[in-house]
Amino acid sequence: MKTFKGGFHVPDHKDLTASAAIEQMPLVTDYYVSLSQHIGKPAQPVVNVGDQVVEGQLIAQASSAISANVHSPVCGDVVEVVKRKNAQGVLVDTIHIRSNGRQDRQTLPALTDPTPQQIVERVAEAGIVGMGGAGFPTAVKLQPKDPVDSLVINAAECEPYLNCDNRLLLERTEQFLQGVRLLAKAIGVSNVYIGIEENKQQAYEKLLQQPHVIADTKEALASKQQDDIVVVQLKAKYPQGAEKTLIKACLNREVPVGGLPAAVGCIVDNVGTAYAVYDAVVNGVPLYKRLMTVSGGGINDPKNLEVAVGTPISAIVELCGGLKEDTVKLVSGGPMMGFSLMNTDVATTKTDSGFLALTDKEASSVLPTPCINCGRCASVCPMRLMPMYIDFYTTVGDTENAVKYGALNCFECGTCAYVCPAKRPIVQSVRLTKIKAKEKK
């Protein structure tokens, strides 16, 4: 089975929600739609306080080349535009919309047989961003500067607990594949790979049953036709779903240090992104809803939900039966790369793939002890760095040496900190060094 060097199989706890069908999040009263749900400049509001908006209406516009449109998730009134803390704890401009209970919806005209240019334009119009977590505007990604020959769809979902991609693959298989074909058309490639971890056997089999989808075997590849999509089964190992490790596993290409996937002729998109592209092109629905896994030992009733962007986490928690007494940590996103939350007074965004409530048993709160140089961090590092040195030099305040040992090449997957027996806060060190290195420049 294909994979990359390094990494570690983190217990995935996916059984909590693996068989929970997608449910719709019912309407709530207040929505807090952030204007910075993507990498790049915040969107510029195009509505005023007191305006009435309908579901799917454009409420903020992309403000520069790297930015994304934002649409209203609900039919209601704009109450205010305020600075509000997002999941990362940063104050960002947020539009507060109060629902008026109506269900009016505004959509874009559906496109039949669109040209590549039309797809890219629609993706930009619909405000689609990378839904794996980074939130890079997809329209920008679809117009790479380097020549590209392959599209890799990231269905690895290597983060423990999360199941939203898995459920989407199972329940909306055809729509997802349509989205993938639209993406391939937009960038003009015929080599399309879907990388999926072995622990999603059901979804893997479902994909292979579809027409023009073939497995990654020699016999199947020999008779590959122009529009066949190749499904590559990957070893269940964290961080299999990181861009660089996914490309390495599927195509055996190594993205150069500091480079983008396009440097090796690849574009990587998430399952959720492909589905959003389908929805935007075929149904004309902009991106204001996404799938989320609500899970963890501290959640009474774990679910997979389709949630409107801007829904307060507190409402989601309420729907899922509330929190258990022994919850010690709240996490937005996956447990390896997500952000810990101080409280549930935070709204969802386009990039939230999950919300977790972890108990003391799950979220280790053992305090750091001195490094014993065991080398586990280096042996699991997918970027083949030496995290023990980065942590050491950061701790003693030597940014220069921390950078020398590759702190800037780190994408903060957290595998090193997971396996560390001394519980060193290695990812925190990397982040600190990145900030300090930026300040120096």
Rank residues 165 and 391 by Cβ distance to another protein and give the closer one.
391
DSSP, collapsed to helix, strand or coil, labels residue 228 as coil
Least distance between another protein and beta carbon 400 (Å): 16
251: left (phi over 0), alpha (psi -120 to 50) or beta: alpha
DSSP, collapsed to helix, strand or coil, labels residue 126 as coil
Rank residues 210 and 373 by Cβ distance to another protein and give the closer one.
373
Least distance between another protein and beta carbon 439 (Å): 19
Least distance between another protein and beta carbon 437 (Å): 16
What is the rounded CA–CA span in Å between residue 281 and residue 88?
Answer: 31
Q: Rule CB under 8 A: which residues touch another protein? A: 10, 160, 244, 248, 254-257, 259, 327-331, 335-343, 356, 358, 362-366, 369-375, 378, 382-386, 388-389, 406, 409, 412, 414-415, 417-423, 425, 427-428, 431
Rank residues 224 and 423 by Cβ distance to another protein and give the closer one.
423
Least distance between another protein and beta carbon 426 (Å): 9
What is the rounded CA–CA span in Å between residue 153 and residue 193?
Answer: 6
Edge-first strand order for the sheet with 229-234 is: 213-215, 229-234, 191-197, 150-155, 266-270
| Pairing, β 91-99 against β 150-155 | unpaired
Rank residues 75 and 427 by Cβ distance to another protein and give the closer one.
427
Rank residues 188 and 259 by Cβ distance to another protein and give the closer one.
259
Task: Select from 247, 263, 245, 111 the least CA-distant residue to 179.
Answer: 111
Least distance between another protein and beta carbon 225 (Å): 32
Rank residues 300 and 373 by Cβ distance to another protein and give the closer one.
373
Task: Select from 132, 210, 206, 211 the least CA-distant residue to 167.
Answer: 206
> What is the length of the chain?
441
Least distance between another protein and beta carbon 307 (Å): 21
